Amino acid sequence: MNVKSIFLMSRAVIPFMASQRSGTIINIGSAASLRPPPGLTWYCATKGAVNLVTKSLALELAADGIRVNCVAPGIGESALLESFMGVSDTPGNRRKFDTMNPLGRITKPADVANACVYLASDESAYVNGVILPVDGGRSA
């Protein structure tokens, strides 16, 4: 799902964007592809593929006026939180993960959304092929 969804989306939107000579694609990767935790080998591998697809498409599509970037969230408030933590989502267990992060908390949906808004905006018009960690510095 992590790679096939990008393949299908690209096949659908790139011809339209290329005909308009502009567009922005923002893929969702994972900070786990930058600093892999144990026990998530295949997840990290698919998100690593997202990184490589992002960089490759950024190079291939730049001449068509299409920018391609990736947001790489850290562990955060999502439906997969308990799977990534490996324990129940309780305040005590969450505090353990909060203390592992330099900024002292897990990623919130708004953190990811704000990064996407930036990458979609004119303020990032010269940003292309970037994997942007949104993980409070954990992958640094």
Known catalytic residue: 118? no
If you search the block for the tokens 């990184």, which residue do you land on? 51
- Catalytic residue selected from 43, 51, 115, 128: 43
* Rounded Cα gap, residues 140 and 137, in angstroms: 5
Q: Can you give the C-alpha Rg of the chain in angstroms?
A: 16
Q: By C-alpha distance, which of 131, 72, 87, 2 is closest to 97? A: 87
Catalytic residues: 43
